[in-house]
Amino acid sequence: MMYPYMTLNDDTEITHSEMYPDGKVKVYIETPDETGGFHDAICWLPDYTWEVHGYSESEMMYFKQLIRDNAHLIIEFSQEGGILNAANI
């Protein structure tokens, strides 16, 4: 299951999985493009292994920093059923 984490002003959606038994968490980033498709990237935490489709190098620099800055929260929320469950909403 994927849980919502953040929506950016350009409609980029960032979601994450629950923590897998091996301790990994999948973070998925998706941005709609002008053709009606999407650019996407997957980051596996805590290893920071990336799979990127369609994003520029500068966009990825931004996303990599954003995920590094939020990794501790994403990992925590992955163990608590997502941010909405952790916040008791």
Sequence ranges of the domains in the chain: 2-86
- Give burial (CB, 10 Å; 0-12/13-18/19+) of 79: exposed
**pLDDT tens-digit readout, 8-30:** 999 999 999 999 999 999 999 99
**pLDDT tens-digit readout, 48-78:** 999 999 999 999 999 999 999 999 999 999 9
This prediction has a pTM of 0.90
